[in-house]
Structure 1
Amino acid sequence: MAEHTEGMWTGTVDTAPGAVTGWHHHGEHETTLYIVSGTFRLESGPSGGDVIEAGPGDFVRVPAGAVHRESNPGEEPSRAVIVRCGSGAPTVNVDGPAAPG
């Protein structure tokens, strides 16, 4: 179930074991995830070198405009609750993060 208002989206996402999203950002949207079950990995930063792994009970923040990708490196499905606040396009697909300069 998802809830939508002007400027905010709240819902859940289930991710299969081994699944990896493409590189993207959420424009002007700030995003917070609460990991309910399973394993969640977030890669961001130069060349995707900043890696956060989270599990049940952890919160993960994705700043507006941060190029990243998400994955489930675990052997069980994962579930997260997402709250996304902002305006404009909620997801913008990109080729990947910038290389270190």
Structure 2
Amino acid sequence: MGDCVKLRPEGTYAGKQGFSYFEGIAKETVGSQGVCMHLLTVPPGGRAKAHKHATHETAIYVISGAAKMYWGDRLEHCMDTVAGDMIYIPADVPHLPFNDGDEPAVAIIARTDPHEQESVVLLPELEALVP
């Protein structure tokens, strides 16, 4: 049986996607085996790099602010998100979040990959598809 661990999201790390994430629950921090969970603040004008999470699902809860998320094989879909929304992203689905608002967007992100960044696959060929 393992130990229960409590963390406070204070330190950050630079994600491949182009954002700084607050350290959270991950194999690297607490030894988790099947999940990671992080806190993300996207500043006004903040935009991630186009990416997907190979073989891992993502769940997002927007705490405050608003953002858009482009998604699909060619980032052809656009989803508006606001505080209180829960978003599900299936494994291997390309996506690109973008905060086009005037205030930071804050969200909790959970993935079925216990590593902070292992399943991130950058998709630079899709970058120019989003204005």
Q: TM-score range with shorter-chain normalisation? A: 0.7 to 0.9
> Is the contact made by 2:73 and 2:94 (CA closer than 8 Å) also made in structure 1?
no
Give the distance between the partners of 1:12 and 1:77, measured in 2 at CA: 13
Task: Describe the SS at the equivalent of 1:43.
Answer: strand
| Count of aligned pairs | 98
Q: Which has the higher contact order (CA 8 A, sep 6+)?
A: 1
Which structure dedicates a bigger proportion of its chain to helix? 2
Provide TM-score, normalisation by structure 1: 0.87
**2:15 alignment partner in structure 1:** none
Question: Larger C-alpha radius of gyration, 1 or 2?
Answer: 2
* Unpaired segments ≥5 residues, structure 2: 1-8, 10-23, 27-31
Q: Runs (4+) of structure 1 moved beyond 6 Å?
A: none
Deviates more, 1:56-65 or 1:1-10: 1-10
> Is the contact made by 1:18 and 1:73 (CA closer than 8 Å) also made in structure 2?
yes
How far apart are residue 90 of structure 1 and its match? 2.3
**2:122 alignment partner in structure 1:** 93
| 1:17-53 CA-partner distances (Å, limit 9, x unpaired) | 0111111001111000000001121101243121111
Matches within 5 A, 1:38-53: 38-53=65-80
Task: Describe the SS at the equivalent of 2:40.
Answer: strand
Percent identity over paired residues: 26
> Is the contact made by 1:29 and 1:87 (CA closer than 8 Å) also made in structure 2?
no
Task: Describe the SS at the equivalent of 2:126.
Answer: coil
* Residue 81 of structure 2 corresponds to residue 54 of structure 1: yes
How far apart are residue 86 of structure 1 and its match? 3.4
Give the distance between the partners of 1:75 and 1:85, measured in 2 at CA: 31
Provide TM-score, normalisation by structure 2: 0.69
> Is the contact made by 2:60 and 2:110 (CA closer than 8 Å) also made in structure 1?
yes
The amino acid across from 1:90 in the alignment is S
Task: Describe the SS at the equivalent of 1:96.
Answer: helix
The amino acid across from 2:126 in the alignment is G
